[in-house]
Homo-oligomer: A and B are copies of this chain.
Amino acid sequence: MKTLHVDLGTRSYPIHIGTGLLDDSELIRPHIQGQEVMVVTNETIAPLYLERTLALLDGYDVATVILPDGEQYKTLDTLNLVFDALLEKHFTRRCTLIALGGGVIGDITGYAAASYQRGVNFIQIPTTLLAQVDSSVGGKTGVNHALGKNMIGAFHQPQCVIADTETLNTLDDRQLSAGLAEIIKYGLINDADFFEWLEQNMPSLLSRDPDALAYAIERSCHDKAEIVAADERESGVRALLNLGHTFGHAIETGTGYGNWLHGEAVGCGMWMAAELSHQHGWFTQTELDRTRDIIEKAKLPIQPPTSMNSDQFLDIMAVDKKNLEKKIRLILMKGIGKSFISDDFDNTLLKELLEKNIAQAKQE
Protein backbone atom coordinates (compact mmCIF):
# COMPACT_ATOMS: atom_id res chain seq x y z
CA MET A 1 0.00 0.00 0.00
CA LYS A 2 1.13 3.55 -0.79
CA THR A 3 -0.10 6.55 1.17
CA LEU A 4 -0.02 10.08 -0.22
CA HIS A 5 -0.89 13.17 1.78
CA VAL A 6 -2.89 16.11 0.46
CA ASP A 7 -1.42 19.06 2.31
CA LEU A 8 -4.19 21.52 3.18
CA GLY A 9 -3.48 22.63 6.75
CA THR A 10 -6.26 21.56 9.07
CA ARG A 11 -8.05 20.00 6.09
CA SER A 12 -5.14 17.70 5.14
CA TYR A 13 -5.94 14.04 4.52
CA PRO A 14 -4.34 10.78 3.36
CA ILE A 15 -4.96 8.88 0.11
CA HIS A 16 -4.34 5.15 0.52
CA ILE A 17 -3.71 3.22 -2.71
CA GLY A 18 -3.30 -0.57 -2.92
CA THR A 19 -4.88 -3.96 -3.36
CA GLY A 20 -7.34 -5.45 -0.89
CA LEU A 21 -7.76 -2.23 1.10
CA LEU A 22 -11.50 -2.89 1.31
CA ASP A 23 -10.71 -5.61 3.84
CA ASP A 24 -8.65 -3.40 6.15
CA SER A 25 -10.95 -1.74 8.67
CA GLU A 26 -8.04 0.03 10.37
CA LEU A 27 -7.72 2.38 7.41
CA ILE A 28 -11.22 3.75 7.77
CA ARG A 29 -12.19 3.55 11.43
CA PRO A 30 -9.81 6.25 12.76
CA HIS A 31 -11.53 8.73 10.42
CA ILE A 32 -15.04 8.19 11.81
CA GLN A 33 -15.66 10.54 14.75
CA GLY A 34 -19.11 9.54 16.01
CA GLN A 35 -21.30 6.45 15.84
CA GLU A 36 -23.42 7.36 12.81
CA VAL A 37 -22.30 6.28 9.33
CA MET A 38 -24.25 6.57 6.07
CA VAL A 39 -22.89 4.65 3.08
CA VAL A 40 -23.96 6.19 -0.23
CA THR A 41 -23.56 3.97 -3.29
CA ASN A 42 -25.40 3.03 -6.50
CA GLU A 43 -27.26 0.09 -8.01
CA THR A 44 -24.20 -1.13 -9.92
CA ILE A 45 -21.71 -0.98 -7.07
CA ALA A 46 -23.95 -2.17 -4.22
CA PRO A 47 -24.08 -5.84 -5.30
CA LEU A 48 -20.30 -5.83 -5.81
CA TYR A 49 -18.82 -4.03 -2.80
CA LEU A 50 -21.47 -2.93 -0.32
CA GLU A 51 -21.28 -6.03 1.83
CA ARG A 52 -17.49 -5.76 2.20
CA THR A 53 -17.79 -2.09 3.04
CA LEU A 54 -20.42 -2.76 5.70
CA ALA A 55 -18.14 -5.41 7.20
CA LEU A 56 -15.57 -2.65 7.82
CA LEU A 57 -18.14 -0.76 9.88
CA ASP A 58 -19.08 -3.34 12.44
CA GLY A 59 -20.26 -1.72 15.68
CA TYR A 60 -21.30 1.62 14.19
CA ASP A 61 -24.88 2.79 13.63
CA VAL A 62 -24.81 2.26 9.85
CA ALA A 63 -27.38 3.13 7.20
CA THR A 64 -27.24 2.85 3.42
CA VAL A 65 -28.61 4.80 0.45
CA ILE A 66 -28.52 3.17 -2.98
CA LEU A 67 -28.89 5.70 -5.80
CA PRO A 68 -29.50 5.07 -9.50
CA ASP A 69 -26.29 4.82 -11.58
CA GLY A 70 -25.28 7.46 -14.12
CA GLU A 71 -24.30 11.07 -14.72
CA GLN A 72 -27.95 11.87 -15.52
CA TYR A 73 -28.73 11.33 -11.83
CA LYS A 74 -26.16 13.83 -10.55
CA THR A 75 -28.94 16.30 -9.71
CA LEU A 76 -30.45 18.24 -6.81
CA ASP A 77 -33.30 15.69 -6.78
CA THR A 78 -30.95 12.74 -6.22
CA LEU A 79 -29.04 14.77 -3.63
CA ASN A 80 -32.30 15.20 -1.76
CA LEU A 81 -32.63 11.40 -1.49
CA VAL A 82 -29.48 11.45 0.64
CA PHE A 83 -30.93 14.21 2.85
CA ASP A 84 -34.17 12.20 3.18
CA ALA A 85 -32.22 9.18 4.39
CA LEU A 86 -30.11 11.21 6.84
CA LEU A 87 -33.15 12.92 8.35
CA GLU A 88 -35.23 9.76 8.53
CA LYS A 89 -32.40 8.24 10.56
CA HIS A 90 -32.16 11.40 12.71
CA PHE A 91 -28.43 11.56 11.94
CA THR A 92 -26.62 14.44 13.69
CA ARG A 93 -23.74 16.75 12.83
CA ARG A 94 -21.33 14.11 14.06
CA CYS A 95 -22.29 11.60 11.38
CA THR A 96 -19.90 10.47 8.62
CA LEU A 97 -20.91 9.89 5.00
CA ILE A 98 -19.04 7.29 2.94
CA ALA A 99 -19.02 7.59 -0.85
CA LEU A 100 -18.70 4.10 -2.33
CA GLY A 101 -18.59 4.31 -6.11
CA GLY A 102 -17.38 6.37 -9.05
CA GLY A 103 -17.20 10.08 -9.66
CA VAL A 104 -20.94 10.70 -9.61
CA ILE A 105 -21.37 9.03 -6.21
CA GLY A 106 -18.33 10.88 -4.87
CA ASP A 107 -19.55 14.26 -6.08
CA ILE A 108 -23.11 13.82 -4.76
CA THR A 109 -22.02 12.37 -1.42
CA GLY A 110 -19.38 15.03 -0.90
CA TYR A 111 -21.89 17.77 -1.61
CA ALA A 112 -24.43 16.15 0.69
CA ALA A 113 -21.73 16.11 3.40
CA ALA A 114 -20.88 19.77 2.73
CA SER A 115 -24.54 20.77 3.03
CA TYR A 116 -26.16 18.49 5.62
CA GLN A 117 -26.55 20.56 8.77
CA ARG A 118 -24.06 22.95 7.10
CA GLY A 119 -21.26 20.39 7.01
CA VAL A 120 -20.44 16.88 8.21
CA ASN A 121 -17.49 14.56 7.58
CA PHE A 122 -17.12 12.21 4.65
CA ILE A 123 -14.81 9.50 3.32
CA GLN A 124 -14.20 8.56 -0.31
CA ILE A 125 -13.95 4.92 -1.43
CA PRO A 126 -13.59 5.37 -5.20
CA THR A 127 -14.30 2.23 -7.25
CA THR A 128 -13.62 3.48 -10.78
CA LEU A 129 -10.29 4.42 -12.29
CA LEU A 130 -11.57 7.92 -12.98
CA ALA A 131 -12.63 8.45 -9.38
CA GLN A 132 -9.37 6.99 -8.05
CA VAL A 133 -7.19 9.36 -10.08
CA ASP A 134 -9.35 12.44 -10.14
CA SER A 135 -12.76 13.12 -8.64
CA SER A 136 -12.16 11.64 -5.18
CA VAL A 137 -9.11 13.85 -4.65
CA GLY A 138 -9.28 17.61 -4.12
CA GLY A 139 -12.60 18.34 -2.45
CA LYS A 140 -14.63 19.47 -5.45
CA THR A 141 -18.17 18.30 -4.84
CA GLY A 142 -21.47 19.12 -6.50
CA VAL A 143 -24.26 18.32 -8.89
CA ASN A 144 -25.16 19.26 -12.45
CA HIS A 145 -27.79 21.70 -13.65
CA ALA A 146 -29.62 21.25 -16.96
CA LEU A 147 -27.80 24.36 -18.19
CA GLY A 148 -24.30 23.47 -17.03
CA LYS A 149 -22.20 20.70 -15.53
CA ASN A 150 -20.99 20.91 -11.89
CA MET A 151 -22.53 24.36 -11.59
CA ILE A 152 -23.86 23.78 -8.06
CA GLY A 153 -21.54 22.59 -5.33
CA ALA A 154 -18.99 23.21 -2.63
CA PHE A 155 -15.32 22.74 -1.84
CA HIS A 156 -15.40 20.12 0.92
CA GLN A 157 -12.39 17.91 1.67
CA PRO A 158 -12.80 14.25 2.69
CA GLN A 159 -11.31 12.80 5.87
CA CYS A 160 -9.49 10.18 3.79
CA VAL A 161 -9.54 8.44 0.41
CA ILE A 162 -9.24 4.65 0.13
CA ALA A 163 -8.48 3.50 -3.42
CA ASP A 164 -8.56 -0.28 -3.62
CA THR A 165 -7.17 -1.15 -7.06
CA GLU A 166 -8.86 -4.55 -6.96
CA THR A 167 -12.21 -2.83 -7.53
CA LEU A 168 -10.99 -1.98 -11.05
CA ASN A 169 -11.30 -5.66 -12.01
CA THR A 170 -15.07 -5.27 -12.22
CA LEU A 171 -14.90 -2.13 -14.36
CA ASP A 172 -16.06 -2.42 -17.98
CA ASP A 173 -13.63 -1.44 -20.75
CA ARG A 174 -15.41 1.82 -21.53
CA GLN A 175 -15.09 2.95 -17.89
CA LEU A 176 -11.42 1.93 -17.83
CA SER A 177 -10.71 4.10 -20.87
CA ALA A 178 -12.62 6.99 -19.32
CA GLY A 179 -10.25 6.83 -16.35
CA LEU A 180 -7.23 6.76 -18.64
CA ALA A 181 -8.33 10.10 -20.09
CA GLU A 182 -7.78 11.83 -16.75
CA ILE A 183 -4.44 10.02 -16.34
CA ILE A 184 -3.23 11.23 -19.76
CA LYS A 185 -4.36 14.70 -18.69
CA TYR A 186 -1.79 14.87 -15.87
CA GLY A 187 0.99 14.11 -18.37
CA LEU A 188 -0.18 16.86 -20.68
CA ILE A 189 -0.63 19.43 -17.89
CA ASN A 190 2.81 19.41 -16.30
CA ASP A 191 4.40 15.94 -16.27
CA ALA A 192 6.08 15.18 -19.61
CA ASP A 193 8.00 12.22 -18.12
CA PHE A 194 4.74 10.62 -17.06
CA PHE A 195 3.36 11.23 -20.56
CA GLU A 196 6.30 9.29 -22.02
CA TRP A 197 5.78 6.50 -19.50
CA LEU A 198 2.12 6.34 -20.57
CA GLU A 199 3.10 6.16 -24.25
CA GLN A 200 5.18 3.09 -23.42
CA ASN A 201 2.82 1.44 -20.96
CA MET A 202 -0.64 2.01 -22.45
CA PRO A 203 -0.95 -1.68 -23.48
CA SER A 204 -0.22 -2.81 -19.89
CA LEU A 205 -2.79 -0.39 -18.53
CA LEU A 206 -5.43 -1.58 -20.99
CA SER A 207 -4.73 -5.20 -20.03
CA ARG A 208 -5.13 -4.14 -16.38
CA ASP A 209 -1.62 -5.03 -15.27
CA PRO A 210 -1.89 -4.36 -11.49
CA ASP A 211 1.58 -2.84 -11.14
CA ALA A 212 1.11 -0.52 -14.09
CA LEU A 213 -2.30 0.59 -12.83
CA ALA A 214 -1.03 1.16 -9.29
CA TYR A 215 1.85 3.27 -10.59
CA ALA A 216 -0.42 5.35 -12.84
CA ILE A 217 -2.90 5.95 -10.02
CA GLU A 218 -0.22 6.93 -7.54
CA ARG A 219 1.52 9.29 -9.93
CA SER A 220 -1.79 10.88 -10.98
CA CYS A 221 -2.86 11.43 -7.36
CA HIS A 222 0.58 12.83 -6.59
CA ASP A 223 0.40 15.29 -9.48
CA LYS A 224 -3.13 16.33 -8.58
CA ALA A 225 -2.45 16.64 -4.84
CA GLU A 226 0.45 19.00 -5.54
CA ILE A 227 -1.72 21.32 -7.61
CA VAL A 228 -4.62 21.21 -5.13
CA ALA A 229 -2.30 21.97 -2.20
CA ALA A 230 -1.07 25.05 -4.06
CA ASP A 231 -4.56 26.36 -4.84
CA GLU A 232 -7.40 24.66 -2.97
CA ARG A 233 -10.22 26.88 -4.20
CA GLU A 234 -9.09 27.36 -7.79
CA SER A 235 -8.14 30.98 -7.83
CA GLY A 236 -5.15 30.21 -10.05
CA VAL A 237 -3.08 27.15 -11.00
CA ARG A 238 -5.81 24.62 -10.11
CA ALA A 239 -7.69 25.63 -13.25
CA LEU A 240 -5.05 23.69 -15.22
CA LEU A 241 -6.75 20.49 -14.01
CA ASN A 242 -9.54 21.54 -16.36
CA LEU A 243 -7.55 20.69 -19.49
CA GLY A 244 -10.04 19.25 -21.98
CA HIS A 245 -12.93 19.92 -19.62
CA THR A 246 -14.45 23.03 -21.20
CA PHE A 247 -14.96 21.11 -24.44
CA GLY A 248 -15.80 17.98 -22.45
CA HIS A 249 -18.47 19.59 -20.30
CA ALA A 250 -20.06 21.04 -23.43
CA ILE A 251 -20.25 17.52 -24.90
CA GLU A 252 -21.76 16.07 -21.72
CA THR A 253 -24.30 18.88 -21.38
CA GLY A 254 -25.07 19.06 -25.11
CA THR A 255 -25.63 15.33 -25.64
CA GLY A 256 -27.55 14.92 -22.36
CA TYR A 257 -25.82 13.77 -19.19
CA GLY A 258 -25.04 10.06 -19.17
CA ASN A 259 -24.62 9.48 -22.89
CA TRP A 260 -20.92 10.25 -23.06
CA LEU A 261 -18.86 9.20 -20.06
CA HIS A 262 -17.04 12.12 -18.44
CA GLY A 263 -13.63 10.67 -19.37
CA GLU A 264 -14.69 10.13 -22.98
CA ALA A 265 -15.75 13.76 -23.26
CA VAL A 266 -12.47 14.87 -21.67
CA GLY A 267 -10.49 12.72 -24.13
CA CYS A 268 -12.13 14.41 -27.09
CA GLY A 269 -11.75 17.77 -25.33
CA MET A 270 -8.00 17.30 -24.84
CA TRP A 271 -7.69 16.59 -28.55
CA MET A 272 -9.46 19.82 -29.44
CA ALA A 273 -7.39 21.80 -26.91
CA ALA A 274 -4.26 20.31 -28.48
CA GLU A 275 -5.40 21.14 -32.00
CA LEU A 276 -6.31 24.71 -31.06
CA SER A 277 -2.90 25.10 -29.40
CA HIS A 278 -1.26 23.78 -32.58
CA GLN A 279 -3.19 26.20 -34.78
CA HIS A 280 -1.84 29.08 -32.71
CA GLY A 281 1.70 27.80 -33.28
CA TRP A 282 2.14 26.84 -29.60
CA PHE A 283 2.10 23.06 -30.03
CA THR A 284 4.21 21.29 -32.69
CA GLN A 285 2.87 18.80 -35.24
CA THR A 286 4.82 16.02 -33.48
CA GLU A 287 3.28 16.91 -30.12
CA LEU A 288 -0.14 16.99 -31.74
CA ASP A 289 0.42 13.57 -33.31
CA ARG A 290 1.63 12.12 -30.00
CA THR A 291 -1.45 13.51 -28.25
CA ARG A 292 -3.83 12.06 -30.83
CA ASP A 293 -1.96 8.79 -30.73
CA ILE A 294 -2.15 8.31 -26.97
CA ILE A 295 -5.84 9.26 -26.79
CA GLU A 296 -6.63 6.76 -29.54
CA LYS A 297 -4.47 4.09 -27.93
CA ALA A 298 -6.49 4.53 -24.73
CA LYS A 299 -9.56 3.72 -26.87
CA LEU A 300 -11.05 7.14 -26.33
CA PRO A 301 -13.04 9.05 -28.96
CA ILE A 302 -11.30 11.89 -30.82
CA GLN A 303 -14.34 13.07 -32.69
CA PRO A 304 -17.09 15.21 -31.17
CA PRO A 305 -20.76 14.15 -31.23
CA THR A 306 -22.41 14.66 -34.62
CA SER A 307 -25.61 15.74 -32.89
CA MET A 308 -24.04 19.05 -31.86
CA ASN A 309 -23.15 22.12 -33.88
CA SER A 310 -20.48 24.71 -33.16
CA ASP A 311 -22.93 27.33 -31.85
CA GLN A 312 -24.27 24.86 -29.33
CA PHE A 313 -20.69 24.14 -28.21
CA LEU A 314 -19.87 27.83 -27.85
CA ASP A 315 -23.12 28.56 -26.03
CA ILE A 316 -22.46 25.95 -23.36
CA MET A 317 -18.77 26.84 -23.14
CA ALA A 318 -19.83 30.40 -22.36
CA VAL A 319 -21.13 29.30 -18.92
CA ASP A 320 -17.96 27.49 -17.83
CA LYS A 321 -16.83 28.23 -14.26
CA LYS A 322 -13.39 29.42 -15.41
CA ASN A 323 -14.85 32.25 -17.45
CA LEU A 324 -14.55 35.82 -16.26
CA GLU A 325 -16.87 38.49 -17.56
CA LYS A 326 -18.32 36.49 -20.45
CA LYS A 327 -15.02 35.56 -22.14
CA ILE A 328 -14.35 31.84 -22.69
CA ARG A 329 -11.18 30.68 -20.95
CA LEU A 330 -9.47 27.46 -21.98
CA ILE A 331 -6.53 25.40 -20.83
CA LEU A 332 -4.16 25.28 -23.79
CA MET A 333 -0.60 23.95 -24.23
CA LYS A 334 2.81 25.25 -25.23
CA GLY A 335 4.17 21.72 -25.33
CA ILE A 336 3.50 18.39 -23.68
CA GLY A 337 3.58 19.06 -19.93
CA LYS A 338 3.35 22.81 -20.50
CA SER A 339 -0.26 23.81 -20.11
CA PHE A 340 -1.53 27.31 -19.35
CA ILE A 341 -4.82 29.14 -18.92
CA SER A 342 -5.81 31.50 -21.70
CA ASP A 343 -8.59 33.73 -22.88
CA ASP A 344 -6.24 35.20 -25.45
CA PHE A 345 -6.89 32.85 -28.37
CA ASP A 346 -8.51 33.40 -31.75
CA ASN A 347 -12.28 32.86 -31.43
CA THR A 348 -12.63 32.39 -35.16
CA LEU A 349 -10.09 29.57 -35.06
CA LEU A 350 -12.04 27.98 -32.20
CA LYS A 351 -15.30 28.09 -34.14
CA GLU A 352 -13.64 26.74 -37.30
CA LEU A 353 -11.99 23.97 -35.29
CA LEU A 354 -15.33 22.89 -33.86
CA GLU A 355 -16.95 22.97 -37.29
CA LYS A 356 -14.13 21.00 -38.90
CA ASN A 357 -14.16 18.30 -36.22
CA ILE A 358 -17.94 17.96 -36.31
CA ALA A 359 -17.88 17.75 -40.13
CA GLN A 360 -15.19 15.05 -40.00
CA ALA A 361 -17.21 13.11 -37.44
CA LYS A 362 -20.22 13.24 -39.75
CA GLN A 363 -18.23 11.89 -42.69
CA GLU A 364 -17.24 8.76 -40.83
A residues with CB within 8 A of B: 34-36, 76, 79-80, 83-84, 87-88, 90, 92-94, 114-119, 140, 142, 145, 147-148, 151-155, 233-234, 318-319, 321, 323-326
- Nearest CB to that of A36 among chain B residues? B325
- Pairwise interchain contact B76-A80, C-beta atoms closer than 8 A: yes
- Nearest CB to that of A323 among chain B residues? B92
Minimum CB–CB distance for A11 against chain B, Å: 13
Q: A321 — which chain B residues lie within 8 A by C-beta?
A: 92-93, 117-118
- Nearest CB to that of A234 among chain B residues? B118
Complex Cα distance, B154 from A325, in Å, reads 26
Q: How many monomers of this chain does the complex have? A: 2
New A-B contacts (10) at CB < 8 Å, excluding given A84-B145, A87-B151, A118-B153? A76-B80, A87-B148, A90-B319, A92-B324, A92-B326, A115-B115, A115-B154, A118-B142, A119-B154, A119-B233
Q: A119 — which chain B residues lie within 8 A by C-beta?
A: 154-155, 233
Q: A147 — which chain B residues lie within 8 A by C-beta?
A: 84, 87-88
- Pairwise interchain contact A151-B117, C-beta atoms closer than 8 A: yes
Instruction: Identify A35's interface contact among B80, B83, B116, B325, CB under 8 A.
Output: B325
Instruction: Identify A324's interface contact among B94, B140, B324, CB under 8 A.
Output: B94
- Pairwise interchain contact B325-A118, C-beta atoms closer than 8 A: no
- Pairwise interchain contact A324-B155, C-beta atoms closer than 8 A: no
CB-based closest 9 A-B pairs: A87-B147, A117-B321, A118-B153, A90-B319, A92-B323, A115-B152, A90-B318, A76-B76, A87-B148
- Pairwise interchain contact B324-A83, C-beta atoms closer than 8 A: no
Complex Cα distance, B118 from A155, in Å, reads 6
- Nearest CB to that of A141 among chain B residues? B118
- Nearest CB to that of A319 among chain B residues? B90
- Nearest CB to that of A115 among chain B residues? B152
Complex Cα distance, B115 from A142, in Å, reads 8
Complex Cα distance, B141 from A115, in Å, reads 10
Minimum CB–CB distance for A232 against chain B, Å: 11
